[in-house]
Amino acid sequence: MTLQETLTMTALMLAPAFFSLLGMAALGSPAVATLGEIAAKTKSRVFYEKYGQQTAAMGLILFILLILVEVGGIALIYVKFPQYIRDILTPGTPFTLVLAALGAFTLLGIPYLAFWKKMRNAKALRLILGIGASLAGIAMVALAIPAKLTFGLPPEQITPAIQAMLPPMAVMYCIQLLTAAAGLSCAYLVMRRNKDDFGRDYYNFSLKLAARWSLIPMLGFLACQGWLFAVLPENFKTLVMGTPLGIVWAAGAGLGLVCAILWLIIARSATPLRLKGLSFLNALLLWLVHTASAVLFLNLMSMS
């Protein structure tokens, strides 16, 4: 790809990556909210549970948006490429398990996200639903990566290159569920500051907590980027390093590192509310990181 083609592709991926990031945050929000519940029990501090409550509220909004976007996208694709949708929905394809995981997430996640406060007297049930929805969300992403990489290929055409890329890419995107949910929750907390007024002490605590819980998976995400590059065949590495795709990859990783640094600054600050602008900046950078990852994913698919 030329530089112009790469820039054009990146620009075209901005909108899909935006909604994809929101979808990742929706699927990751039960895991982050459940971690808040568990931390509240083990550390006996109510602020963890309040953070879980707000993350669940954000997750419900994003999941409803995800469903609306997915339905609209499927309808549009069906009009132009009906056979593609039929192939995906055919029982026995790799996407069958993906759809099953989505169904499980819907059945477990909607009650968990929607009735968080109403289940405050049934915390054991709420925790079970949260853990189940978390596992379903992770399973959906873990299954979607090989389904996309091998879609339409008979087993004999699944090359060693594809097999090598599957583990790091699956782990990378599963980790990104947590990064997206916790990272966007930083901005959500700031936006809800005056509406869900739980006090300055709570918001200082929760912003630092969300920043820490964003930072840790981001470091894992960056490590998976290195793992992915390490397992690429030599001819793939040559193509990446010899084309502007290498610039996109480096830019995505570099912006991810910037996100980690900014989250570290928030996490270590004594007054994180004064740094609320960094929460919105990180949300923007996270979008760009996800866009770069999407461009990389599509190009590696085409190389395979």
pLDDT tens per residue, range 194-228: 787 788 888 999 999 999 999 999 999 999 999 99
The distance from CA 138 to its chain's CA centroid, rounded to whole angstroms, is 10
CATH number of the domain encompassing residue 19: 1.20.1630
CA gap 172, 146 in Å, rounded: 13
The distance from CA 213 to its chain's CA centroid, rounded to whole angstroms, is 13
Model confidence pLDDT, tens digit, residues 278-291: 999 999 999 999 99
CA gap 105, 30 in Å, rounded: 10
CA gap 294, 127 in Å, rounded: 33
**φ/ψ of residue 88, rounded to 5:** -65, -40
Q: Is the pLDDT of residue 177 over 80?
A: yes
CA gap 67, 191 in Å, rounded: 23
Count of C-beta atoms within a 10 Å radius of residue 106: 14
- Nearest Cα residue to 263 out of 294, 289, 296: 289
CA gap 287, 176 in Å, rounded: 12
Model confidence pLDDT, tens digit, residues 82-139: 777 777 777 877 888 999 999 999 999 999 999 988 888 888 999 999 999 999 999 9
What pLDDT is stored for residue 288 in this prediction?
96
What pLDDT is stored for residue 209 in this prediction?
94
Residue 242 banded pLDDT, cuts 50, 70, 90: confident
Q: What is the DSSP letter of 120?
A: T
Tell me what the mean pLDDT of segment 264-268 comes to.
Answer: 95
**φ/ψ of residue 115, rounded to 5:** -115, 30
What pLDDT is stored for residue 161 in this prediction?
83
What pLDDT is stored for residue 101 in this prediction?
94
The distance from CA 283 to its chain's CA centroid, rounded to whole angstroms, is 12
What is the overall mean pLDDT for the chain?
89
Q: Is the pLDDT of residue 180 over 70?
A: yes
- Total domain count for the chain? 1
Query: What is the rounded end-to-end Cα distance, in angstroms, of the chain?
Result: 15
Q: Is the pLDDT of residue 178 over 90?
A: yes
Contacts of 180 (CB under 8 A, 6+ apart): 21, 24, 25, 28, 286, 290
Please identify which residue in the block is written with the tokens 């990751």: 28
Q: Is the pLDDT of residue 167 over 80?
A: yes
Q: Is the pLDDT of residue 73 over 70?
A: yes
**Bigger pLDDT: 96 vs 259:** 259
**Bigger pLDDT: 301 vs 68:** 68
Q: Which domain holds residue 265?
A: 3-303
What pLDDT is stored for residue 162 in this prediction?
84
Tell me what the mean pLDDT of segment 63-92 comes to.
Answer: 81
Q: What is the pTM of this model?
A: 0.92
What ranges in the chain are assigned the alpha helix state H? 3-43, 46-80, 82-89, 94-114, 123-149, 160-191, 200-231, 234-241, 245-268, 276-303
